[in-house]
Amino acid sequence: MPHIRLLVFDFDGVFTDNTVVVTEDGGEAVRCWRGDGLGLTALRACGMEFLIISTETNKVVSARAQKLGLECLQGVADKGAALAVVMQQRGLSSAQVAYVGNDVNDLACLRTVGLPIIVQDAHPAVRTAAKWRTRAPGGRGAVREVCDTFAEILTNHARL
């Protein structure tokens, strides 16, 4: 795991509890986890890079990504192809990339990376594609758990 350089996230169901609040004018809001920020900050200090790839183009994704200081690709119909391009551009092998997802539109990405991760409450159809299933559900600590685990391993690795 110390060789992971880029940690890629799906948004809905990973940063959120996969619900969406719909208002009368069609506005949307999502429910995120405050604790994610602390985990991302600590892991960024270890040198990890982050990226969000989302199928939809949605202002709430931009808003949350900006708050957390995360780079974000939206409106991506083929997430697997988009991730492959990113990896090529950055000169990263699959062994250097981890991906966190929760549903069937994450399958291509999960199969592209060396460390495919799903959240506790991911859709059953993606379970066999993952090497690690977090204990925390999406939007309730899953991102934090991934960050904490990486940070602990990277810190112990650096001390050796």
Chain residues binding a copy of itself by CB under 8 A are 12-13, 16-35, 38, 58-60, 62-64, 66-67, 103-105, 123, 125, 139-140, 144, 148
Per-residue DSSP letter, 16: B
Q: Which is nearer to a copy of itself, 116 or 139 (CB)?
A: 139
The residue among 66 and 93 lying less far from a copy of itself, judged by its C-beta, is 66
Tokens coding 9: 């996230």
Q: 3-state class of 13 per DSSP? A: coil
Give, rounded to a whole angstrom, the gap between the first and last alpha carbons of the chain.
Answer: 15
CB 88 to a copy of itself: min, Å: 27
Q: Which is nearer to a copy of itself, 13 or 116 (CB)?
A: 13
- Shortest CB 39 distance to a copy of itself, Å: 9
Q: Which residues contact 102 (CB under 8 A, 6 or more apart)?
A: 10, 12, 13, 14, 18, 118, 119, 121, 122, 123, 126, 138
Nearer to a copy of itself among residue 37 and residue 114 (C-beta): 37
CA distance 59 to 136: 26
Structure tokens given for 108: 């291509």
Tell me how far apart the alpha carbons of residues 11 and 36 are, in angstroms, rounded to a whole number. 13
Closest contact distance (angstroms) between CB of 131 and a copy of itself is: 22
Q: How far is the CB of 38 from a copy of itself (least distance, A)?
A: 6
For a copy of itself, the closer of residues 113 and 126 by Cβ is 126
Closest approach of a copy of itself to the CB of residue 119, in Å: 12
